[in-house]
Amino acid sequence: MNRLDKLAEASVRSVARRTSRRSLLASLGALLVGGAAVPLLPIARGAEPPAKGAARNGGADDKAAAKAAALQDPQSCEYWRHCAIDGYLCGCCGGSQHSCPPGTEMSAVTWVGTCHNPVDGLDYVVSYNDCCGKSTCGRCLCNRNERDTPIYIPFQSNDYNWCSGSSKGNVAYHCSTARIVGQAR
């Protein structure tokens, strides 16, 4: 296993254990994040030291393939657009990375991140619009905090419930999308 693989293993735990607006129960995290796919360390997290107890060997080819698949899987926390997301993935809740599940409403305002797409090598501005109006979806919770800011810098903060800005004044949070707004320049 190369260094990046070790780092990816380390991120299994850290991704699942972020403490933020929408964090998950430890058992749920192990089930959804650890069990669903082998997570991949986001590109910008390469400097993080390996966590104690990180896996050391075995199945390198399989893991590399799984990582590559996860990077392109909208239902994976490691999907490239999810670099600053914090919430339940709408793709697991009846919607997609850019659409809300039936019967919910997309928040008009939200926070944005800048994520790197390893396929075309470009950086994109990604808008994490929440879907609102129903109880919490509870599936595929994902929290990554690249360039996340405190809530006094609102539009780069994933600690707000952005359903607060929905047209009906409704704050019931259901899930989060990851819409491409445009290429980052």
Partner 1 sequence: MGCQHLRTVWASAVAALAAAATTGAAPLPADPLSQVESLPLPPAPHWVWVNDFAFSHMANGKAMLVDGDSGRFLGELDTGFGAVRIVLSTDGALIYSPETYFSRGTRGTRTDVVTIYDAARLAPVGEIEIPPKRSSNMPMIANAVLTDDGRFLLIYNFNPAQSISVVDTRARTFIGEIDTPGCALAFPTGARAFFSLCADGALLKVRLDDSGRGVAHERTAPLFEVQTNPVTEKAVRRGDTWYFVSYDGTIYSVIIGRDGADLTAGPHWSLTSDSERAQQWRPGGLQQLAVHAGLNRLYAIMHRGGPETHKDPGREVWVYDLDRHARVQKIPMQHDSGSILVSRDAKPLLFSIFIESNILDVYDAASGRHLRTVPDIGTTPTIMVGP
Q: How far apart, in whole angstroms, are the C-alpha atoms of residue 25 and residue 148?
A: 21
* 80 catalytic per annotation: no
Judge whether 162 and 73 are in contact, CB under 8 Å: no
Q: Per CB under 8 A, does 160 bind partner 1?
A: yes
* 111 catalytic per annotation: yes
> For the chain, first and last CA: distance in Å?
35
Closest to partner 1 by CB, 49 vs 58, is 49
Place of tokens 């998950």: 24
Q: In 14-37, which positions are buried (b, 16+ CB within 10 angstroms) versus exposed (e)? A: bbbebeebbbbeeeebeebbeebb
Q: Per CB under 8 A, does 133 bind partner 1?
A: yes
* Single residue of 34, 94, 118, 165 touching partner 1 by CB under 8 A: 165
Site string (42-81) toward partner 1, x via CB under 8 A: --xx-xxx--------------------------------
Judged by the rule CB under 8 A, the positions of this chain that interact with partner 1 are 14, 16-26, 29, 44-45, 47-49, 109, 133-136, 138, 143-154, 159-161, 163-165, 169-173
* Enzyme catalytic residues: 111, 130
